[in-house]
Amino acid sequence: MRAGERKLQAERREFCTLAAAAWAMSGLGVMTGPAKGQAPGFSALRQMKAGLLDTSYAELGPADGPPVILLHGWPYDIHAFEEVAPALSAKGYRVIVPYLRGYGGTRFLSPDTFRNGQPAALAMDIVSLMDALKIERAILGGFDWGARTADIVAALWPERAKGLVAVSGYLIGSQAAGKVPLPPDAELQWWYQYYFATERGRLGYDRNRREFARLIWKLASPKWAFDDATFSRSAAAFDNPDHVAIVVHNYRWRLGLAEGEARYDEIEERLAKAPTISVPTITMEGDANGAPHPPPAAYAPKFTGKYEHRTIGGGIGHNLPQEAPGAFAAAIVDVGKG
């Protein structure tokens, strides 16, 4: 066993111990609203009406602790943070882990609301959730869609972000940028984006959600030996009735093949200018990330405040919080120091 792998296993054991302590201390059986289900690895979930959504989320730690909001990506769910969250709560943080729109128990308040997957909409969901939970500022952490969402909040509303931990760094884009052709090998990595652009792709994803997600997990994290139980815990989140619509719209919007909503036009105009991020930030990358991602040197200038990049070794792939929970939790703690 390599030294890096031994270190990661030691971190995992340490954080599992902290997690057990967190469950004992946090009294998480109390819910703020009617739960739509439970997430193994977390206590009973809470519900909060915020913005356009009735958001399903896990909350751990003391109510008066420094807030941390952890954001998952596609095709993943809140279980990406099932070790990170209790470890942070054991250190005194108030940890919020929401299901994004189209995942888990999160539902739209109105059946008439457009099932919009554009990045600005997801970012506004998080700002609305913070408002509903009366959280003025929080440390934001995420990967994949979650990192992009956290990037947007930190860039456009820096007063709401005490710090930022973003896997794969700066992921803010625009429809104009999405229309620029990439080299063939880079385009190949985005095969599913083009699949979703077709009606066949939408139907195929709807019929094969679990098989599709498992394939992405393997391609994005080729050295992660996840078991069936780990996958199944997350795959249940894809049964959300809005999941396919949100995912397909997200990727079609990026290519300019689907319209967004006028309510987000001003936000998208600001994002199209690739705004810098001034809050304290740690970006992270696994050394075996098989998903499309920019090189750290390409995005470092976008972070104008206190900044550090960390590459995590030992065969860590795209789902860095779940594959290297100790490293991710440590980054949250460190960025919170300002």
Q: Of 332, 280, 284, which Cα lies nearest the Cα of 304?
A: 280
The angle formed by the CA atoms of residues 115, 116 and 120, to the nearest 5 degrees, is 150
- Reported as a single tens digit per residue, the pLDDT across 25-55 is 333 333 333 344 445 568 789 999 999 999 9
pLDDT of residue 23: 36
Compute the average pLDDT of residues 129-145: 98
Between residues 243 and 6, the one the model is more confident about: 243
User: Residue 26 has what pLDDT?
Assistant: 36
Residues 6+ apart with CB under 8 A from 129: 48, 50, 51, 53, 55, 57, 69, 96, 98
What pLDDT score was predicted for residue 41? 61
CA 50/CA 54 separation, integer angstroms: 6
User: Which pLDDT belongs to residue 39?
Assistant: 52
Residues 284 and 331 sit within 8 Å (Cβ to Cβ): yes
Tell me the percentage of the chain whose pLDDT exceeds 70: 88
Which range has the worst mean pLDDT, 30-34, 138-142, 177-181, 264-268?
Answer: 30-34
Identify the residue with better confidence: 6 or 45.
45
- Closest C-alpha to 53, from 97, 108, 101, 104: 108
Report yes or no: 133 and 48 within 8 Å, Cβ to Cβ. Answer: yes
Residues 6+ apart with CB under 8 A from 83: 12, 15, 16, 19, 322, 325, 329
E-assigned strand segments in 181-251: none
Average pLDDT over residues 192-210: 98
The predicted pLDDT at position 264 comes to 97
289 pLDDT band (50/70/90 cuts)?
A: very high
- With contact defined as beta carbons under 8 Å apart, do 42 and 51 qualify? no
291-305 confidence digits (pLDDT tens): 999 999 999 999 999
- Please name the amino acid found at residue 17: T
- What mean pLDDT, rounded, does the chain reach? 90
For the residues 316-327, what does the mean pLDDT come to? Answer: 98
pLDDT recorded at residue 116 = 98
Tell me the C-alpha distance between 120 and 142, whole Å: 16
Among candidates 53, 168, 67, which has minimal Cα distance to 122? Answer: 53
| pLDDT attached to residue 42 | 83
Token pair 């795959």 is found at 235
| Average pLDDT rounded to a whole number, residues 178-190 | 93
Residue 318: which of 211, 168, 165, 103 has the closest Cα?
A: 168
- In this model, does residue 96 exceed pLDDT 70? yes
Asked if residues 54 and 47 have their Cβ atoms less than 8 Å apart, the reply is: yes
Secondary element (H or E) of residue 71:
strand 67-71
| Coil/strand/helix, residue 65 | coil
pLDDT in tens, 66-77: 999 999 999 999
